[in-house]
Amino acid sequence: MRSWRTLLARTTATLAAAITVASMGALAAPGAAHADASVVGGTRATLGEFPWMVRLSMGCGGALYSSTLVLTAAHCVSSTGTNTSITATLGVVDLNSTSKITRKSNYVYRAPGYTGSGKDWAFIRLASPVTGVATLPIAKTTAYDTGTFTIAGWGAATEGGAQQRYLLKATVPFVSDTTCNSSSMYNGEIIASNEICAGYTAGGTDTCQGDSGGPMFRRDSANAWVQVGIVSWGDGCARPNKPGVYTQVSYFAATIAAAATTLGG
């Protein structure tokens, strides 16, 4: 069974407890537990370092694709259609900052044919545009689907831990489909055509619960950031031989671009 890296799969009671813990702990004053920890195994991001990072109120991450669209994971949303319940927060690394930008959603578009395995991408359309904030382009070919990637998010810094107040970052290496699907890792569970793995054999650095939908990205040939993955699932967080599994953005690039055009983004 896939372990999605979001709070959505938990019960309402568990979600409420996680939010309470977050508000009392990781989202409390600087110096609280895990305040200087990472996604799992990294460091705190600096203001403006990844301006297109988005925190979504249902407990997921995302990336600003255009002034009105946030690219996230399909498993973070329930269906395609009108939705005014989601709040997107961006423009800050500290979720308690008074300078944060917030926007409500007005529509959700979930990848056509998504059934819980593969095709794990979606758009959140914002009710009003975000101006003055950089967007994150997506990879349109497989040219950047290897090497070392950057991950970031406000998710747990330890498996089963609380959500974070500060944006945390780390780097992870590409893991080939063959290796990721080996018996010592995911034993054939990876959909090689449209999922990509990244992480260390020894574990220790990874995305975690609450990071779902956030981007995995790297520099392109012009030294600009480009999104190559969307945080999707994994077996626990930062376990040995269990790298993170990400939606392979390049595989869906044309479909994502067409959906964005339809949505006015």
The residue annotated as part of the active site, out of 120, 145, 206, 211, is 120
112 backbone φψ class: left, alpha, beta (φ>0; ψ -120 to 50): beta
The residue annotated as part of the active site, out of 38, 66, 212, 250, is 212
The residue annotated as part of the active site, out of 34, 38, 66, 75, is 75
Taking the CA of residue 169 as centre, how many other CA atoms within 13 Å lie in the half-sphere pointing to its CB?
Answer: 17
Q: How far apart are the first and last CA of the chain?
A: 34
Is 34 annotated in the active site?
Answer: no
Sequence-ordered list of residues with C-beta below 8 angstroms from that of 150, at least 6 positions apart, any chain: 50, 169, 170, 171, 216, 217, 218
Sign of the dihedral defined by the CA atoms of residues 102, 111, 134, 264, in that order: negative
| Whether the Cβ atoms of residue 250 and residue 228 lie closer than 8 Å to each other | yes
Catalytic residue list: 75, 120, 212
